[in-house]
């Protein structure tokens, strides 16, 4: 099973990185992402980039955006380019195809996020040196690494469900775009509409999240949602339905 999953990951990576719109373009996209999240934003934020808990929000959001960028193509793209039926007619088990598609997107997004995390520290220390090394506190390292992985998996789970149903990549991208906007903007807009006293209480609660226990709790909740999404996607994956759709 693992070999089959990795075979799909190999093919997806090859398409995403090496050949999609040309080899240079594929790698340039990755470098651009790393430059923005590993150099430009840390340069702007200074030493706050490695100490402020608000940065956790970035590490949660960046993988969602990166996954959404490529996961729409996973099944809708294969369907649109008429490669899906041949893939389904191969010996690969359903679970291997599904997990391979998800793992390819998660590893792409998480890889860029981790490289950006490391590069961010280097950038901050190189440009805002104050005589001592600026480093993420332990809870931010755990949060940055763990939350980014789990939100990448969340986006991959939702993305695969959308892509399985969509008849074209554009349709999948539009649906995922709306979903991403809702995830990012609905909490922000809702927060602004709450009474002042509620806002203070929520801010205090978020401040308390600056602890390892709260982070681990949030990560557990996210992991549970991720598992639920994988189970839902597995239930949705039916060869006959995919072919006849």
Instruction: By CB under 8 A, name the binding residues for other proteins.
Output: 3-4, 7, 10-11, 14-15, 19-20, 81-83, 85-93, 239-240, 243-244
Instruction: For residues 107 and 9, give the distance between their C-alpha atoms in angstroms, rounded to a whole number.
Output: 9
Distance in Å, CB of 89 to other proteins, minimum: 5
Using CB atoms within 10 Å of the CB of residue 210, give its burial: 0 to 12 exposed, 13 to 18 middle, 19+ buried. middle
The residue among 128 and 236 lying less far from other proteins, judged by its C-beta, is 236
Distance in Å, CB of 6 to other proteins, minimum: 8
Distance in Å, CB of 32 to other proteins, minimum: 20
Alpha helices in the chain (DSSP H): 2-13, 23-35, 41-45, 48-51, 55-71, 73-80, 84-88, 94-127, 138-165, 169-193, 196-208, 212-236, 239-244
The residue among 3 and 44 lying less far from other proteins, judged by its C-beta, is 3
- Contact assessment for residue 162 and residue 175, using Cβ atoms and an 8 Å cutoff: yes
Instruction: For residues 56 and 62, give the distance between their C-alpha atoms in angstroms, rounded to a whole number.
Output: 10
The residue among 86 and 196 lying less far from other proteins, judged by its C-beta, is 86
Distance in Å, CB of 109 to other proteins, minimum: 20
Instruction: For residues 234 and 245, give the distance between their C-alpha atoms in angstroms, rounded to a whole number.
Output: 17
Distance in Å, CB of 162 to other proteins, minimum: 22
Using CB atoms within 10 Å of the CB of residue 59, give its burial: 0 to 12 exposed, 13 to 18 middle, 19+ buried. buried
The residue among 28 and 243 lying less far from other proteins, judged by its C-beta, is 243
The residue among 15 and 48 lying less far from other proteins, judged by its C-beta, is 15
């Amino acid at each position: 099973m693992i070999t089959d999953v990795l075979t799909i990951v190999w093919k997806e990576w090859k398409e995403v990185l090496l050949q999609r719109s040309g080899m240079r373009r594929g790698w340039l996209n990755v470098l651009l992402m790393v430059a923005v999240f590993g150099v430009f934003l840390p340069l702007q934020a200074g030493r706050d980039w490695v100490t402020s808990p608000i940065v956790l929000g970035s590490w949660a959001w960046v993988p969602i955006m990166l996954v959404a960028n490529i996961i729409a193509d996973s099944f809708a793209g294969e369907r649109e380019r008429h490669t899906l039926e041949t893939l389904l007619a191969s010996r690969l088990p359903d679970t291997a195809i599904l997990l391979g598609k998800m793992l390819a997107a998660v590893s792409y997004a998480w890889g860029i996020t981790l490289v950006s995390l490391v590069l961010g520290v280097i950038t901050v220390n190189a440009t805002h040196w104050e005589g001592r090394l600026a480093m993420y506190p332990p809870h931010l390292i755990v949060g940055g690494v763990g939350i980014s992985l789990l939100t990448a998996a969340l986006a991959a789970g939702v993305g695969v469900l959308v892509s399985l149903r969509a008849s074209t990549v554009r349709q999948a991208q539009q649906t995922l775009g709306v979903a991403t906007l809702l995830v990012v903007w609905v909490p922000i807009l809702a927060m602004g509409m709450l009474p002042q006293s509620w806002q203070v209480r929520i801010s205090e609660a978020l401040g308390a999240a600056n602890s390892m226990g709260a982070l681990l709790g949030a990560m557990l909740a996210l992991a549970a949602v991720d598992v639920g999404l994988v189970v839902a996607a597995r239930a949705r994956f039916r060869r006959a339905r995919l072919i006849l759709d």
